[in-house]
Amino acid sequence: MSGPRPTIAAWPMTDTERRRERAMSLGVGTDVLLSTPILAIAIWSGSLTLLADAMRACLLTLLELFAYVVMRRIHRGRLPSYQYGSGKIESFLNLLIGIALVLSSIWIFALGVLTMLQPSQPSPLGFAVATATGAVNTTQNAWMFVTYLHARRLGASILIDGQVRTRLLKVVSSASATLAILVSALFAGQISGRVADLVGSAVVVQMMLWTAYQLIAGALPDLMDRMLDPSQLTLVNRVLLCNFDRIDAIHHVRTRRSGVVKYIEIGVGFSADRRIGEIDAINQSL
């Protein structure tokens, strides 16, 4: 005789996690709505600066969407196979964003060299539309940067920290690109206009590379299981020294980070004639 089917209780979510998801969904939604038209306008206008900014925006939007999906799975407890939490997944996503920024920077640099060798005929109307598009993009990025800052104040999160860095990149690069496109529109057809376009794209590429370096350098220690800093290890050793006479053997001390969480594993040994209650009390004090 079959009874009622068991139900699986929903994974409890905190208010902080809900606010993080709302911030990420707002950022992803507005980026998707803007990135495709910006890329189309960049190709139509022939602005190398806007094209560089559009490539940066499209790549980061795709990875931001992936990061949002992973964040939702983390918050709902759908990644049970990772005993040390989801820190490595979050760091790996930031590593992917950094690599994508490096590759897109190389591609934009190649386009800049090609433009210098074979300059195209400028379009004043295209530059005007590109300037307006850059202004809208800068405003949206500044708005989302403030939103992510508020989300980060709620608590530490590798994904949110990565979004704050990349959103700051978007604000600076979009503002620089808009200024460069405006100068190019004012001096369309002249050498100064072409130089302004190249300088603007160079500024965007430099910001992309700097942000990529920060993301990659921040992700590698977690991915390679680097132990804690010496100052934190000193605290661990101090605790062991204070309890040295209560422990019969110390087999190992291992530490690692998983995102913002720090793990400390201490292997201790006790004589066979000691009571379980006494051993448990020592372990709890440690």
pLDDT at 173 over 80: no
Strand partners, 249: 269
Dist. CA 160–CA 68, nearest whole Å: 10
C-beta separation of 255 from 233 below 8 A: yes
The average pLDDT across 23-38 equals 80
List the alpha helices (DSSP H) in the chain.
Answer: 15-45, 48-75, 87-117, 124-153, 158-186, 191-223, 230-242, 276-285
Question: What H or E segment, with its residue span, contains residue 249?
Answer: strand 249-258
Cβ neighbours of 211 (radius 10 Å): 25
What was the pLDDT predicted at 166?
A: 74
In sequence order, the 6+-apart residues with CB closer than 8 A to the CB of 139 are none
C-alpha–C-alpha distance, residues 252 and 26, integer Å: 46
Instruction: Provide the token pair at 275.
Output: 């009571």
- Could you tell me the pTM of the whole model? 0.58
pLDDT in tens, 76-94: 766 555 555 556 776 777 7
Sole residue written with tokens 């820190």:
87
What confidence tens digit (pLDDT) does each residue in 200-214 have?
A: 777 778 877 887 887
Q: What type of residue sits at position 107?
A: W
